[in-house]
């Protein structure tokens, strides 16, 4: 392990990228402590600690606690993620976006530009909605969250939160360009990881105080470790469909064949179905936080983690959104067309419609496995934490994001190591001509 670390930091370009990533992530964490003007941070934190299981706490996990304090990075990069997902879905509905997606680099740059503009619109809307919503909030001790409400506060809050999101969007793109891994994913992962030390300290203090028994804690940790191993296995597994390419050689007209593979992940949709499902399921408790209507309060009880209906509904939504999102990002007809254009063929399948049907057949079964896997990873840790009444939320969503992003970073580092060794071989080796 030490030898591998020394090898990593011995490569100047890789070392520079790692340090750049750490510095930019430190800037993100610094901004998570700069408060929005006109907010009583202590009262807002007390309000968040009183409410649990709603949409605000779910998104607060992705911002590393910045939403709970309503700092300048209170919205995090979630508006950018939402804009990216919406534009991805619109590529199926709007032909112009679908054509841009097929144009390669030029099309992707235009879609990225549209995503940035849409991120600003979503951030302004969410920032204004948050400003209006927290004006009526009071802490459990009766302290108002907003010091002086009104249109001035709403406009300043919306602009501040939007500016913070735009800065994080720029920060994430710089990490992607000059650092290691996907910048947006790393920012989300950094926000999730920052809550771990506090959760460990709180749990240990409860064990020492006798509030929590050691045996349930050990059992929960074993199950979480099993979930970690399952996530690593599922995220690195793939179904490889063989593809044969037949080409005529220029020397003597001989026919040459080459075999390649079409890799399909067991979890093609990633963490997106969990985010969609959790957003919908936690929406009623969020509305009940701001509305005192008895009917809404009664309905929200069915959407709390203490009720079995919550888990059934989340399971249904995760399976639905897994199939839905996979059908959006994977088009078997397009894949079959690209294989045919490149001169490839799947053994035993005719080019065109037969190839598309076979890919759809394989993808449908992989999606079913991925949907069940996402549902188990999302629901089981929540049920365990609720049963043992553990003092922190460390669900399958956060675990899935941390492991997935970590594997991506490791893959990027290994690619740099392989590239460095390959370049070093070329620079040292000399090819001499015959005398």
CATH 1.10.3370.10, applies to 1-193 = yes
Decide: helix, strand or coil at residue 242: strand
Whether the predicted pLDDT of 112 surpasses 80: yes
CA pair distance 359, 365, nearest whole angstrom: 10
Whether the predicted pLDDT of 302 surpasses 80: no
What pLDDT, on the 0 to 100 scale, is given for residue 75?
85
Query: Stretch 252-278: mean pLDDT, rounded?
Result: 77
What pLDDT, on the 0 to 100 scale, is given for residue 265?
85
Decide: helix, strand or coil at residue 310: helix
Decide: helix, strand or coil at residue 227: helix
b/e map of 408-427 (b: 16 or more CB within 10 Å)?
A: bbeebbeebeeebeeeeeee
pLDDT band at 432 (very low <50, low <70, confident <90, very high): very low
pTM beyond 0.95, yes or no: no
pLDDT band at 7 (very low <50, low <70, confident <90, very high): confident
Edge-to-edge strand ranges of the sheet holding 255-265: 255-265, 238-248, 344-345
Cα 196 to Cα 30, 192, 397, distances in angstroms? 17, 7, 14
The per-residue pLDDT of the chain, averaged, comes to 79
CA pair distance 395, 384, nearest whole angstrom: 9
pLDDT band at 402 (very low <50, low <70, confident <90, very high): confident
Task: Encode pLDDT of 157-199 as tens digits.
Answer: 899 999 999 999 999 889 988 888 888 888 888 888 887 777 7
Question: 274 or 307, which is more confident?
Answer: 274
Delimit the domains of the chain by residue range: 1-193, 211-394
Task: Encode pLDDT of 326-358 as tens digits.
Answer: 888 888 888 888 888 888 888 888 888 888 899
What pLDDT, on the 0 to 100 scale, is given for residue 1?
62
CA pair distance 130, 71, nearest whole angstrom: 12
pLDDT band at 121 (very low <50, low <70, confident <90, very high): very high
Cα 312 to Cα 277, 302, 307, 309, 397, distances in angstroms? 11, 11, 9, 5, 17
What pLDDT, on the 0 to 100 scale, is given for residue 86?
84
Whether the predicted pLDDT of 427 surpasses 70: no
Task: Encode pLDDT of 42-93 as tens digits.
Answer: 777 777 766 655 566 667 777 777 777 788 888 888 888 888 888 887 887 8
CA pair distance 20, 387, nearest whole angstrom: 42
Q: Which fold has domain 211-394?
A: Preprotein translocase SecY subunit (1.10.3370)
Whether the predicted pLDDT of 249 surpasses 70: no
Question: 257 or 427, which is more confident?
Answer: 257
Q: Is 211-394 in the same CATH topology as 1-193?
A: yes
pLDDT band at 429 (very low <50, low <70, confident <90, very high): very low
């Amino acid at each position: 392990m030490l030898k591998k670390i020394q090898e990593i930091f011995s490569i100047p370009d890789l070392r520079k990228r790692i340090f750049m990533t750490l510095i930019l992530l430190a800037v993100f964490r610094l901004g998570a402590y700069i408060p929005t003007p006109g907010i009583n941070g202590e009262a807002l934190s007390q309000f968040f600690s009183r409410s649990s299981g709603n949409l605000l706490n779910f998104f607060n996990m992705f911002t590393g606690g910045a939403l709970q304090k309503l700092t300048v990075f209170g919205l995090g990069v979630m508006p950018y993620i939402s804009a990216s997902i919406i534009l991805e879905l619109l590529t199926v509905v709007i032909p112009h976006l679908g054509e841009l997606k097929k144009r390669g680099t030029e099309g992707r740059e235009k879609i990225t530009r549209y995503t940035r503009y849409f991120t600003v619109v979503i951030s302004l809307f969410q920032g204004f909605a948050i400003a209006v919503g927290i004006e009526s909030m009071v802490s459990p001790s009766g302290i108002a969250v907003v010091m002086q409400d009104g249109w001035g506060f709403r406009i300043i809050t919306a602009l501040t939160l939007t500016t913070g999101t735009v800065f994080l969007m720029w920060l994430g793109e710089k990490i992607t360009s000059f650092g290691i891994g996907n910048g947006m994913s790393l920012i989300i992962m950094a926000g999730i990881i920052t809550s771990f030390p506090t959760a460990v300290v709180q749990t240990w203090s409860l064990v020492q105080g006798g509030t929590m028994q050691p045996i349930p804690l050990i059992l929960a940790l074993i199950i979480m470790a099993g979930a970690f191993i399952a996530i690593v296995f599922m995220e690195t597994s793939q179904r490889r469909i063989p593809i044969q390419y037949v080409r005529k050689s220029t020397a003597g007209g001989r026919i040459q064949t080459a075999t390649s593979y079409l890799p399909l992940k067991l979890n093609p949709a990633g963490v997106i179905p969990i985010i969609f499902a959790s957003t919908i399921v936690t929406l009623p408790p969020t509305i009940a936080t701001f509305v005192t209507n008895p009917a809404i309060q009664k309905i929200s009880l069915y959407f709390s983690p203490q009720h079995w209906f919550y888990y059934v509904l989340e399971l249904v939504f995760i399976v639905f959104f897994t199939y839905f999102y996979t059908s959006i990002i994977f088009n078997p007809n397009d894949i079959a067309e690209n294989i045919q254009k490149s001169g490839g063929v799947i053994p035993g399948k005719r080019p065109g419609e037969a190839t598309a049907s076979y890919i759809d057949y394989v993808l449908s079964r992989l999606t079913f496995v991925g949907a069940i896997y996402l549902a188990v990873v999302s629901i089981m840790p929540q049920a365990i934490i609720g049963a043992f009444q553990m003092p922190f939320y460390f669900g399958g969503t956060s675990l899935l994001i941390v492991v997935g992003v970590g594997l991506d970073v490791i893959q990027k580092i290994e690619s740099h190591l392989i590239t460095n060794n390959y370049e070093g071989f070329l620079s040292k080796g000399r090819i001499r001509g015959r005398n």
